[in-house]
Amino acid sequence: PPLPLRRPLMGQYAPFSGGQITMSALVLDGKSLATETEAELLARVERLKVKSGGKTPILATILVGDDPASQVYVRNKERACAKCGLKSTLHRLPTDTTQQQLADLVSQLNNDDTVHGILVQLPLPKQIDPQAVLAKIDPAKDVDGFHVQNAGRVVQEDPDGFVSCTPAGIIEICQREGISLEGKHVVVIGRSLIATSVKSITWADEVEAQDEQVESEAGGDATVVAPVTTRSDRTQDSDTSQPVHH
């Protein structure tokens, strides 16, 4: 149904109704789109297995501590991998794990040729520097796109890298719903490094287009505005001092 608005958005006026401006709402059904995407990925993975002689892509996830939300996220990722025909391996470490112990595990997974992707579940315990850990991950296995090399590729509009899942997912939804971002004014609300990765949002569609070898529909010609978070803001709130996986 039309949504009542007290003022026009971006100067685009809609017919008045009862003294208010109205415009139609479009419901984006992420769950149904996710189901479609999982089916498509399953088919792609099966084709990949045939081409590679039966090799199954493996995602290695590292969970440090017993944060309840993190455990939920990890379980969901394991289920998603299963639906897509991927193998997921979980490495659980205690809360008192040291920086060096975690770094050693990351190095081990980097050198394991059977592991194709590495994901360190965030946030990490306070004694561990997350940026130092993320920097240890092989950029070719950094499926989160947090390594400085992958982040740098996004900034330089180089498609040969991983893009964070949240902006990539936003672009995917827009493409599948036929929503063009060209000329739009996009506002990103959030404080996490994932949600406010502005260049990721404006460039994620180009990476997807390169991967699928199709013409991009949701363009990087949008104006994107994101909130600015200072270092003091992040350090005062333990929940936002590290990027958090959803």
Tokens of 180: 């063009």
Has 205 been annotated as catalytic?
Answer: no
d(CA 162, CA 96): 30
As given in the structure block, the two tokens for residue 237 are 């709130």
Distance CA 124, CA 136 (A): 15
Q: Examine the residue annotation and report whether 71 is marked as an active-site residue of this protein.
A: no
Q: With contact defined as beta carbons under 8 Å apart, do 99 and 66 qualify?
A: no
Nearest alpha carbon to residue 141 among 122, 167, 161:
161
- From the list 67, 77, 142, 175, the catalytic residue is 77
| Euclidean distance between CA atoms 49 and 133, whole angstroms | 31
**Given its phi and psi angles, is residue 73 left (phi above 0), alpha (psi -120 to 50 degrees) or beta?**
alpha
Q: Which residues pair with 88 in a beta bridge?
A: 59
Q: Please state, in angstroms and as integers, the Cα–Cα distance from residue 154 to each residue in 107, 224, 231, following that order.
A: 24, 15, 22
Q: Which of 136, 141, 142, 144 is catalytic?
A: 144
Q: Tell me if residue 101 is catalytic.
A: no
The helix/strand/coil state of 39 is: helix
Active site residues per annotation: 77, 121, 144
